[in-house]
Amino acid sequence: MSQKHKSKIEKLFEHPASGNIDEKRLLGALEHYGVNVDISKHNKVKLSKDGHDFSLILSHGNDISKDVIVALRHYLETLDLVPGKL
């Protein structure tokens, strides 16, 4: 199971950025690595770990936009959740 979670996070760091990353599966992978995921009833997501927070809005199409992917990369780098260290 851990390999599936790892591959979801690795997909965020691919160049060029992939356009078909499933939000729900990615959020599950982040939870696996200790990120607190709080989803509101308005499809807003707050990610938090070690005092670092990140917010995003879930899309209706279930895929993450490339702008959000770039922002998520920076957030995960801050947490040291990068492919070489998973």
What is the domain count for the chain? 1
Q: pLDDT digit string (tens) for 69-84?
A: 999 999 999 999 999 9
pLDDT tens digit sequence for 51-71: 999 999 887 777 788 888 999
Q: What would the two tokens of residue 67 be?
A: 């702008």
Residue 31: count of CB within 10 angstroms of its CB:
13
Assign residue 49 a region: left if phi > 0, alpha if psi is -120 to 50, beta otherwise?
A: beta
Model-level pTM?
Answer: 0.90
- The whole domain housing 10 covers 2-85
